[in-house]
């Protein structure tokens, strides 16, 4: 008996990209910085919240590339001759990516109290029954 991969099962037509999507998700940076939450705010809306304390609005970039939401942060060098006795607040760059399903659109992004909120909306397809006519060959 041959074991079929999920994306190659004969009943799953048009899902060829499923395995590549799972692979890409597994490879995305998972270093834990910055911490984030994902919440469902209604039946068809979601919110991603990243803790970006110390980042200004201009230090952040949000893009959608190849069905992925990518959030990047890069702080400028602010040491300006400062001598740190202890530096516990790191000014490091980051990149967080989230794979988006088909029909998920990125809405607005809002900075509030050191948190970056990014709203997502899932389009709801019309539930229509389609009848296919059979013609003689």
d(CA 111, CA 33): 17
The half-sphere exposure of 31 on its side-chain side, counting CA atoms within 13 A, is 8
Taking 70 as the threshold, does the pLDDT of residue 67 lie above it?
Answer: yes
Taking 70 as the threshold, does the pLDDT of residue 29 lie above it?
Answer: no
d(CA 108, CA 46): 11
| pLDDT for position 8 | 63
Domain(s) labelled CATH 2.60.40.790 in the chain stretch across 32-77+84-122
Q: What is the Cα gyration radius of the chain?
A: 21
| pLDDT for position 16 | 67
Name which of 13, 92, 81 is nearest 52 in CA terms. 92
Please name the fold of domain 32-77+84-122: Immunoglobulin-like (2.60.40)
Is the distance from CB of 69 to CB of 48 less than 8 angstroms?
yes
Under the banding of pLDDT at 50, 70 and 90, the label for residue 15 is low
Please give the model's pTM, rounded to 2 decimal places: 0.72
pLDDT in tens, 72-93: 999 877 667 888 898 887 678 9
Taking 80 as the threshold, does the pLDDT of residue 117 lie above it?
Answer: yes
Q: CB count, 10 Å around CB of 14?
A: 6
């Amino acid at each position: 008996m041959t074991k079929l991969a999920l994306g190659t099962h004969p009943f799953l037509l048009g899902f060829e990209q499923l395995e590549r999507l799972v692979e890409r998700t597994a490879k995305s940076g998972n270093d834990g910085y910055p911490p984030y939450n994902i919440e469902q705010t209604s039946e068809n809306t979601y919110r991603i919240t990243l803790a970006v304390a110390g980042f200004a609005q201009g230090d952040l970039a949000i893009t959608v590339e190849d069905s992925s939401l990518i959030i990047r942060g890069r702080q400028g060098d602010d040491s300006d001759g400062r001598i740190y006795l202890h530096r516990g607040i790191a000014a490091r760059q980051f990149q967080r990516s989230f794979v988006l399903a088909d029909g998920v659109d990125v809405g607005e992004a809002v900075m509030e109290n050191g948190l970056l909120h990014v709203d997502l909306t899932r389009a709801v397809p019309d539930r229509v029954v389609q009848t296919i006519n059979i013609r003689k060959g």
